[in-house]
């Protein structure tokens, strides 16, 4: 029913497209999940290369940070669309925030645990009795679900793991406060190496390899907004331009990284680091045209439901995604 409603909104929104073509740009505000970096290069490329402008859109990109929760920003009306990991989005939906996935540029997860080899960790079972750094603010859900599925308590003790609430840095590993920490292939793992650690000193566990990977960095909007034909029309054009940006970034890593640097108002990022990040990000977005793959969605839901006595979500979501936007944007 929801897809039929959105299709109707698209049909009635044809006139809106003509209005925009006459110079009245649609306004879209995007809330990123983290700070300005190549993780979001596709959007900055779309902005810089004029892809949004060609679609008649005036796009504002809001940088994120450790104290910014995208679902809260979306709920408060501070953004039209947010980027979020699906575990966080589905948990928010179950708690009453009706978010809907309208596009999924990332096909593969870059999440992994990075551990000191000298701790004796060679398998997941070796996590028992160890301290593991985990990000929170919604990023903890994949880890907690994983541990629940393999029967390892997250309450500490010799037979469980002690969860260290990890900041968004690699200090707990470098300072030996944790045996393992959460890292992304495109970010924190490189920071560990930059600190002088030899890869041979490390053991890594990719969530993809463990069969517990969940979808990351999808585009989400509030369900009620999908009943507004002007909003739907804006999202169709936003997704189309954004995916142009992503595919350009995949094929032009150095240029995309330079565009990210140009948009980093903090001056905290280096070109070399952003090129390295973009190289890894391109591996994660490859294979996606922007439309949500239902097999990936179902795997994510199954992972989140497989949390034993403490699942991330308690029931399979209904209405948590739609292809109505990408069906129009990517035709």
- Mean pLDDT (whole number) for 92-117: 97
Q: Which has the minimum average pLDDT: 18-22, 226-230, 307-311? A: 18-22
- Mean pLDDT (whole number) for 33-46: 97
At the second CATH level, the architecture of 2-107+215-329 is 3-Layer(aba) Sandwich (3.40)
Between the ranges 1-5, 17-21, 166-170, 220-224, where is the mean pLDDT highest? 220-224
The CATH number of the domain covering residues in 111-206: 3.40.190.10
DSSP label of 316: -
CB-based contact 233:27 (threshold 8 Å)? no
Question: Could you tell me the pTM of the whole model?
Answer: 0.87
Which pLDDT does position 8 carry in this prediction? 40
Q: What gap in Å lies between CA 107 and CA 217, rounded to an integer?
A: 9
Which pLDDT does position 102 carry in this prediction? 98
Residue 307 has pLDDT above 80, yes or no: no
Q: What gap in Å lies between CA 152 and CA 145, rounded to an integer?
A: 10
- 309 pLDDT band (50/70/90 cuts)? low
Residue 59 has pLDDT above 60, yes or no: yes
Residue 211 has pLDDT above 90, yes or no: no
More confident position, 24 or 275: 275
**Among candidate residues 175, 147, 176, the one with its CA nearest the CA of residue 161:** 147
All CATH 3.40.190.10 domain ranges of the chain, comma separated, are: 2-107+215-329, 111-206
Q: What gap in Å lies between CA 86 and CA 98, rounded to an integer?
A: 13
What tokens were used for 288? 């996606």
Kindly state the percentage of the chain with pLDDT values over 70. Answer: 91
pLDDT in tens, 140-160: 888 988 998 899 999 999 999
Q: How many CA atoms lie within 13 A of 265 on its CB side?
A: 5
């Amino acid at each position: 029913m929801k897809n039929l409603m959105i299709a109707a909104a698209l049909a009635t929104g044809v006139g809106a497209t003509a209005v925009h073509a006459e110079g009245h740009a649609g306004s879209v505000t995007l809330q990123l999940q983290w700070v300005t970096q190549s993780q979001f290069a596709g959007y900055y490329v779309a902005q810089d290369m004029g892809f949004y402008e060609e679609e008649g859109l005036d796009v504002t990109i809001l940088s994120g940070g450790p104290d910014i929760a995208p679902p809260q920003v979306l709920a408060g009306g501070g953004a039209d669309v947010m980027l979020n990991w699906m575990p966080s989005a589905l948990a928010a939906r179950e708690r009453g925030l009706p978010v809907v996935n309208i596009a999924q540029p990332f096909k593969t997860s870059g999440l992994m645990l990075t551990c000191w080899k000298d701790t004796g960790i060679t398998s997941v079972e070796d996590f028992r009795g160890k301290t593991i750094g985990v990000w929170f603010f919604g990023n903890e859900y994949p880890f907690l679900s994983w541990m629940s599925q393999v029967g390892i308590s997250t309450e500490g003790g010799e037979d469980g793991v002690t969860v260290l609430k990890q900041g968004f840095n690699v200090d707990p590993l470098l300072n030996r406060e944790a045996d393992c920490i959460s890292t992304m292939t495109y970010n924190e793992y490189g920071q560990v190496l930059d600190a002088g650690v030899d890869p041979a000193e490390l053991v890594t566990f990719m969530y993809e390899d463990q069969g517990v990977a969940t979808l990351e960095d999808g585009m989400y909007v509030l369900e009620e907004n999908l009943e507004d034909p002007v909003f739907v029309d804006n999202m169709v054009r936003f997704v189309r331009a954004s995916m142009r940006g992503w595919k350009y970034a995949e094929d032009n890593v150095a240029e995309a990284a330079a565009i990210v640097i140009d948009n980093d108002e903090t001056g905290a990022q280096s070109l070399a680091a952003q090129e390295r990040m973009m190289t890894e990000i391109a591996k994660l977005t490859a294979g996606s045209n922007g439309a949500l793959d239902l097999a990936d969605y179902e795997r994510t839901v199954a992972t989140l439901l497989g949390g034993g006595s403490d699942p991330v979500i308690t029931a399979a979501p209904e209405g948590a995604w739609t292809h109505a936007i990408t069906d129009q944007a990517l035709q």
